Amino acid sequence: MKALEIMRQWAMPNSETFSIKPIKELLKQEIAGGIWLDPFARNSKIATITNDLNTACDTNYHMEAIDFLKQFSDNYADGVLFDPPYSMRQVMECYQGIGIAAYNTKMDFYSKPKDEIARVCKRGGKVISFGWNSMGMSKSRGFEAVKILLIPHGGAKNDTIVTVEMKVS
């Protein structure tokens, strides 16, 4: 088992997660070619194939994340970026912001896409997860954490936690 690398770098918060300097640097290190999927891309072009439910975003697809992931075959991707809204309140705000008034905000909003990500990610592939916790994909889905980046934003702002995990089984 490889040692878990834990890094801590301070940065200002930004709704465009991948533009935060330490995250941008981490992604440059971790993404080395291959097919990468991003089911919650907003306007990011880092992944090979991008999706966002919001049709105003410049992505390849505009689907629910779960439906986007279901269209790919088993072991299809070399990696997945998993940067969903970080809380149920944010989920609700995202849906209402595009005119969807009622949305089921159960916790399976996170677990069902993670199950699909585990299916589509190749063995040896990576999943880079972003949020306010370090849950990531977990061992139960066949992943092993290899790196955690903690980004304190100061004051009353929540930290951003980035986990890099490799599919081992």
Question: How does residue 98 score in pLDDT terms, banded at 50, 70 and 90?
Answer: confident
What range does the domain containing 116 cover? 5-167
The residue-averaged pLDDT of 149-166 equals 91
* Domains: count for the chain: 1
Confidence of residue 106 (pLDDT cuts 50, 70, 90): low
> pLDDT-derived band of residue 11, with 50, 70 and 90 as boundaries?
confident
pLDDT computed for residue 91 by the predictor:
67
User: What is the arithmetic mean of pLDDT over 54-69?
Assistant: 94
* 3-class secondary structure per residue, the chain: CCCCEEEECCCCCCCCHHHCHHHHHHHHHHCCCCCEEECCCCCCCCCCEEECCCCCCCCCECCCHHHHHHCCCCCCEEEEEECCCCCHHHHHHHHHHCCCCCCCCCCHHHHHHHHHHHHHEEEEEEEEEEECCCCCCCHHHCEEEEEEEEECCCCCCCCEEEEEEEECC
Output the pLDDT for position 1.
Answer: 45
Q: What percent of the chain is predicted at pLDDT more than 70?
A: 90
User: What's the mean per-residue pLDDT of the chain?
Assistant: 88
What CATH number has the domain bearing residue 54? 3.40.50.150
